[in-house]
Amino acid sequence: MFSVRLQEVALPTSDRDVDSLVTWFTDTLCLVRKKGDAMADYGMANPVHRLLRDHIFASPEIGWDAQMLADELALTPASLNHHLTRLVEAGIISYTNEGKGWRRYYLRGGSISNAVELFSVQCKIIIDQRMSLLQTNWTRTDCRLALELPEEDTPLLCLGIVDHRPLTPKTSESLLSQWLGDFGLLGERPGKESEADSLSCKLFEILISRNAPLSLDEAAQLLDGPKPRIGRILERFRASGMVERVARTDRLSISLWSAMVAQYQRRGEDWMLKKGGFNRILNETQQSKLIQKLKKGKLKVGDVESLLKDVNSKQQMLLLNLLGGRLPLGHRLSGETAEDVTRRVNERLDKVLRRMRRVAELLESAQN
């Protein structure tokens, strides 16, 4: 079964250092679980690193006997089998049972570049096939905001890609929870999060059906869960490329009202007219009505919305900026349709795959 976890990693600084290039591969494919911020050997003594550097990548045309690898790497058969199985599942190596005795493992395609190309094709096909479940569960309709602002701090991609398989009998999982787990949206060790009624599954179900972005406070209220935990789940969702965090321009009137009330109480009418942007953006009628209501302490969100209905969203954003206000952030699926989300994930995946092709070329060049 094809099963891999991809992590976006910056290209290595050296294009001739084989150890750096191999480390980049193991980090990108999440083949080594690092403990602590740094390791004394920088991971170069790790069995997977040595297996790839000294055997699989060094001699891609050779089939390596498992018993011989165990002796050279000083590993027990069980430990070696664990590492080889992960590489086979990731689609980088394969094996043959020809003849008698131990399996012989080899690099797919006969070269690093060919192995990466085969790997890339499998990733793309599986993504396209498995994202069809999103289409089946999609219920969003009108999800565009009046003013669309792009996501600013996009996290690095972290995505699981796993072949489809049927649910096991008498399992507490659902098709959706299994799907989320396979894409890495439930974390590295899901545990109870893989159950059909887990917090992660309920949160994703809300995002599939909800048009407006979901704020952290709203999510905590709807799910009756702790905000820190919900925040961590949403960050995992964002790292997959399926979910984005955007400014909630649908709450622009509320943010303007809050900023106007706060700044009037703090700085007064003269500041509001000059530095607060009233003279710059609003006409005299709008200015006077807003100031009058602020003086009486009767300004409401509905008043702001009705008085500024003729002011376009970009000008309202400028006014909010001049007043020192900020829009709240919300999370939503990263597309208006399931096809848009699939395209977004594929674009993020393509970036990682292009880097893999580049590192494969550098490895082959460094070893020649």
Mean pLDDT in runs of 10 for the chain (368 residues)? Answer: 94 88 94 61 78 92 88 89 93 82 87 96 96 91 80 91 91 92 91 92 94 93 93 96 92 93 93 91 93 93 92 90 91 93 96 96 87
Question: What are the sequence ranges of the domains in the chain?
Answer: 3-128+358-367, 139-248+329-336, 251-322
Q: What is the pLDDT of residue 39?
A: 54
Q: What is the pLDDT of residue 158?
A: 96
Q: What is the pLDDT of residue 35?
A: 53
Residue 183: closest CA among 329, 345, 312, 10: 345
**Residue 155 CB neighbours (<10 A):** 15
What gap in Å lies between CA 188 and CA 137, rounded to an integer?
24
Structure confidence by residue, pLDDT tens digits, 267-310: 999 999 989 999 999 999 999 999 999 999 999 999 999 999 88
Structure confidence by residue, pLDDT tens digits, 144-195: 887 788 887 899 999 999 999 999 888 888 999 999 999 999 988 888 899 9
Q: What is the pLDDT of residue 228?
A: 95
Residue owning tokens 């219920």: 139
What HEC string does the chain produce?
Answer: CCEEEEECCCCCCCCCCHHHHHHHHHHHCCCCCCCCCCCCCCCCCCHHHHHHHHHHCCCCCCCEEHHHHHHHHCCCHHHHHHHHHHHHHCCCEEEECCCCCCCEEEEHHHCHHHHHHHHHHHHHHHHHHHCHHHHHHCCCCCCCCCCCCCCCCCCCCEEEEECCCCCCCCCCCCHHHHHHHHCCCCCCCCHHHHCCCCHHHHHHHHHHHCCCCECHHHHHHHHCCCHHHHHHHHHHHHHCCCEEEEECHHHHHHHHHHHHHHHHHHHCHHHHHCCCCHHHHCCHHHHHHHHHHHHHCCCCHHHHHHHCCCCCHHHHHHHHHHCCCCCCEEEEECCCCHHHHHHHHHHHHHHHHHHHHHHHHHHHHHHC
Examine domains 3-128+358-367 and 139-248+329-336 and report if their fold is the same.
Answer: yes
Q: What is the pLDDT of residue 351?
A: 96
Class of the CATH-defined domain 139-248+329-336: mainly alpha
What gap in Å lies between CA 364 and CA 234, rounded to an integer?
39
Q: Using an 8 Å Cβ cutoff, are 352 and 157 in contact?
A: yes
Q: What is the pLDDT of residue 191?
A: 86
What gap in Å lies between CA 282 and CA 273, rounded to an integer?
9
Residues 6+ apart with CB under 8 A from 280: 322
Q: Using an 8 Å Cβ cutoff, are 219 and 231 in contact?
A: no
Q: What is the pLDDT of residue 43?
A: 61
What gap in Å lies between CA 299 and CA 293, rounded to an integer?
5
What gap in Å lies between CA 283 and CA 289, rounded to an integer?
10
Residues 6+ apart with CB under 8 A from 357: 113, 116, 117, 120
Report the topology of domain 3-128+358-367: Arc Repressor Mutant, subunit A (1.10.10)
